[in-house]
Structure 1
Amino acid sequence: MYNVPADFINEAKIWEALEQNKNPEPAQIKEVLAKAAEMKGLNLNDVALLTAINDPEMMAELFNTANTVKETIYGKRLVLFAPLYVSNLCKNECLYCAFRASNKGIVRHALSQEEIAKEVEILINQGHKRVLLVAGESYPEQDGFQYVLDAIKTVYSVKNEHGEIRRVNINVAPLTVEEFKQAKDANIGTYQIFQETYHRETYKKVHVGGKKRDYNWRTWALHRAMEAGIDDVGIGVLLGLFDYRFELLATMQHIFELEDKFGVGPHTISVPRMEPATNSDMASHPPFPVSDIDFRKMVAILRLAVPYTGIIMSTRETAKMRRDTFALGVSQISAGSKTNPGGYGETSEDDPSSQFSLGDHRPLDEVIRDVASMGYIPSFCTACYRMGRTGQDFMDLAKPGDIRLHCAPNGLSSFKEYLQNYASPETREIGDELIRETIAGMSGIAKQRAEKLVNRVKAGRDDVYC
């Protein structure tokens, strides 16, 4: 199955949809936005039509609809995590990436398990509870994939007086079904992989060496993961390699395929734009740069197209762009990130051995203070994963709105735990006031649960959830 062409990515249908919907009338746009407001998702033609919006008035309606859908489903809540780069070893030749095998401008390093533990301790002491473990697409020869399994075990093993990491997601090279089963047994949360580009000709041009040249092996990766029992998967493209409209519709085709075959689509979608990388002219000069307004538009369209799927915004973007997209659909953000192995133990902002340059260098506490000042609840909650509310079970709660009875109280209690154990005095003051205001505005079971959980944290209990 996985050696055949990934024909569910149908380029002809994508171009046809874009051509047929390139000049929509305002009435057509309003009709699609009304459909989107029902929070049942959109089809390929709907998405194609929304990409053609250029009129400022229609753009405002798109953004307002996305904001309404986002807040109806997620409320004022943003999940925070940190990437943990354990290795920049790689056998691939990807022209846009600093980790490519032929790049002599970076220092190669695979962290030892002891070094990984030190990085994890730093993240724990900052207040993080979720990490995304990232590795270049090669491992120390003596270890192979076992290196990743050992790293996951190491992350979970680190505990100190400040707590522990409660969820480890991974972003590593495509695996076999058997390797995915091993990753699941290692207790991972989400398996994340980016196609980079779904456009076959572009894919071939930018991947000039290594196993990553195999378009189909990569595109089928999430099928293998879900076949192995991993029901939380994350997808994304690297914006700037090809026309973002094509990539958006191809992403939708991938989502529809997973929903058809496994009954549930991806848990998250990431929207990384290309950023400068050491010795990569392509990274500094993207072939298809995505403007700020098109970037915002894409985030809003994704929120309407797949309303119950998390949208991740990384620290590639500036603090301002990250703020702007919170209201358009973003539900998860990284914070205080480093993208080179051992980066959390260093003091410099950008290391030449990083995978790419960052747009937001602020430490975790400053990001949290900013988020809370905007009225959003920074959440470190990991309850759904630990309670088995993943995959289809999560969607069964999310679509009727029942998941908010868990997410809102759990987000508040995890935020209170951060404020009580890690926050600066200024952040604590802003955060405590936000928690009071938020609970005062709640009602029913959600309010009862929130008050109960927050009071438990106040009394000295950590890691409380429902």
Structure 2
Amino acid sequence: MRTEVRSFINVEEIEEHLEKNSFPSRERIEEIIQKSLDKNRLNPDEVAALLNVRDPELRELIFEGARELKKRVYGNRIVLFAPLYIGNKCINNCVYCGFRVSNKEVVRRTLNFDELKLETKALVNRGHKRLILVYGEHPDYNADFIAKTVEIVYSIKEGNGEIRRVNINAAPLEVEDYKKVKEAGIGTYQIFQETYHPGVYKKMHPTGPKADYLYRLYGLDRAMEAGIDDVGIGALFGLYDWKFEVMGLLYHTIHLEERFGVGPHTISFPRIEPAIGTPISSKPPFSVNDEDFKHLVATLRLAVPYTGMILTAREPIEIRREVLKLGVSQIDAGSNIGIGAYSKEDKEAYKKSQFTLGDTRPLDVVIKELAQEGYIPSFCTACYRLGRTGEHFMEFAIPGFVKRFCQPNAVLTFAEYLADYASEETKEVGSKLIKKEINNVEDEKLKETLRRYYERVLNGERDLYF
């Protein structure tokens, strides 16, 4: 029985914020950026002002602010993960989605448990440590099934490799069902509202459980009531005006902060990509161009300084390179969203996929490029396993401890990857970067400990962390 009846998304209020902040001055924009750089979340008026910037010079100020904030809070590390699609059965009829129930062109598949083990082994053998498991919305994919798939993924050990964190992207559940999934040891539970505009939402979700706007909107409240304190929000850009959707993500953040004392662990901002048998996905009703996409990412970075920002492989390679600089903290790499396509070559994987990927480069290629650009690729899961999640994570993050803990842990997981999976070219680039990173540590005690840990990794030890 649902008790939540009132939406925390006020359409008129959001539109009013956007309208009254239509022509922000340079001085106002500079003040807002400085507030963010002082590590304060922005309010709706401030975010609306950033969104309404049209002048290229002022946009560049926003971009520079986002770059600087990323450097101050997250350092130069980029967390890596891979999506693993478990099944594409679905009883919803979302008009933009390749999995929708009325789509006769998509090939329906659900991994059996043996196939799931093979897929996990394939990912482990490429060097992955973090996965997000993705499910269609279907009675077969209930809480017990999700929990079982999580347990199977964690059970796989291959050489020095294993999956250390499993996140979930699945349908909203009831509190008791979330508790079952939590007991399996998940990290973040991710639910995208898709569009925060209730009228547009109704048009885009005509039938199925997902048609219930409020039930989905409060899905992560129930997850947090169940004790899952790391949750991820997101909007699918292209369904409605991008400025409104950014405001919706801000309102969702504020709602979680006010009710639970902590906001979302991550925010995702995918754009609609073409999907088999889905015409609207090729011509989205509110298509977002590349410049506006960069603008919205930079604005989100400034709006919520301590929230992880996820840039997916939906985006083309060149755009990923540009947007990565604007405050992104997580990306997927080496991704394949065809069901069952990690463990065997499948030329028709697209027929089982929800949409089309823009960046299909192997993990090692992406890692080498990151290292060449000075980023530390990270597979770190230490905070999650040490209980530094939810409010506890914020206690570490807000004073600036993220760099103290996460930077050395990123170095150690990168060293593991280089030792166990990297090509010779990537190993050469990465080893030089690691030595530089260790030398740059200002705390001499921390530097010496990190140096010792690094030597232990080189000598075969694994899973060392601060």
Q: Same fold (TM over 0.5)?
A: yes
The one-letter code sitting in structure 2 at the alignment partner of 1:309 is T
Within 5 Å, give how 1:48-197 maps onto structure 2.
48-140=48-140, 144-197=142-195
Cα distance between partner residues in 2 of 1:81 and 1:64: 26
Residue 179 and residue 294 in structure 1: after superposition, are their counterparts in 2 closer, same or farther (change >3 A)? same
The one-letter code sitting in structure 2 at the alignment partner of 1:107 is V
- Cα deviation for residue 372 of structure 1 reads 0.7
Cα distance between partner residues in 1 of 2:161 and 2:244: 44
The one-letter code sitting in structure 1 at the alignment partner of 2:60 is A
With 400-409 and 241-250 compared, the bigger mean Cα shift is at 400-409
The one-letter code sitting in structure 1 at the alignment partner of 2:10 is N
- Contact 1:86–1:135 (Cα < 8 Å) also in 2: yes
Equivalent position SS for 1:234: strand
1:452 paired residue number = 452
Residue 50 and residue 463 in structure 1: after superposition, are their counterparts in 2 closer, same or farther (change >3 A)? same
With 340-349 and 310-319 compared, the bigger mean Cα shift is at 340-349
2:441 paired residue number = 442
2:19 paired residue number = 19
Residues 175-225 of structure 1, C-alpha deviations (whole Å, 9 max, x = no match): 000000111111000000100001001100010110000001100001000
Pick from 222, 228, 232 the counterpart of residue 230 of structure 2: 232
1:314 paired residue number = 312
Equivalent position SS for 2:57: helix
Residues 45-72 of structure 1, C-alpha deviations (whole Å, 9 max, x = no match): 0000000111111111111111111011
2:403 paired residue number = 404
1:279 paired residue number = 277
- Structure 2: segments with no counterpart, 5+ residues: none
Residue 79 and residue 282 in structure 1: after superposition, are their counterparts in 2 closer, same or farther (change >3 A)? same
- Number of residue pairs matched by the alignment: 464
Residues 138-176 of structure 1, C-alpha deviations (whole Å, 9 max, x = no match): 143xx7432211111110111121321011000110000
The one-letter code sitting in structure 2 at the alignment partner of 1:381 is C
Within 5 Å, give how 1:206-285 maps onto structure 2.
206-285=204-283
1:305 paired residue number = 303
- Contact 1:133–1:170 (Cα < 8 Å) also in 2: yes
- Contact 2:7–2:214 (Cα < 8 Å) also in 1: no
Find out whether 1:462 has 2:446 as its counterpart: no
Equivalent position SS for 1:58: helix
The one-letter code sitting in structure 2 at the alignment partner of 1:278 is I
Within 5 Å, give how 1:348-387 maps onto structure 2.
348=346, 351-387=350-386
2:286 paired residue number = 288
1:34 paired residue number = 34
Equivalent position SS for 2:310: strand
- Cα deviation for residue 325 of structure 1 reads 1.6
Cα distance between partner residues in 2 of 1:65 and 1:388: 31
Equivalent position SS for 2:206: strand
Residues 247-302 of structure 1, C-alpha deviations (whole Å, 9 max, x = no match): 11111111101000100000000110000001111111010011111111111111
The one-letter code sitting in structure 2 at the alignment partner of 1:196 is E
Equivalent position SS for 2:125: helix
Equivalent position SS for 1:84: strand
Residue 184 and residue 387 in structure 1: after superposition, are their counterparts in 2 closer, same or farther (change >3 A)? same
Equivalent position SS for 1:126: coil
Equivalent position SS for 2:352: coil
- Contact 2:4–2:218 (Cα < 8 Å) also in 1: no
The one-letter code sitting in structure 1 at the alignment partner of 2:211 is R
How well do the aligned residues superpose, as a CA RMSD in angstroms?
Answer: 1.2
Cα distance between partner residues in 2 of 1:107 and 1:226: 34
Equivalent position SS for 1:93: coil
Residue 452 and residue 139 in structure 1: after superposition, are their counterparts in 2 closer, same or farther (change >3 A)? farther
Equivalent position SS for 1:246: helix
TM-score between the two structures when normalised by the length of structure 2:
0.98
The one-letter code sitting in structure 2 at the alignment partner of 1:4 is E
Residues 316-364 of structure 1, C-alpha deviations (whole Å, 9 max, x = no match): 0111111112221100000111112202124357522211000001010
Cα distance between partner residues in 1 of 2:118 and 2:87: 14
- Contact 2:154–2:162 (Cα < 8 Å) also in 1: yes
Percent identity of equivalent pairs? 50
Cα distance between partner residues in 2 of 1:449 and 1:251: 40
- Contact 1:313–1:330 (Cα < 8 Å) also in 2: yes
TM-score between the two structures when normalised by the length of structure 1:
0.98
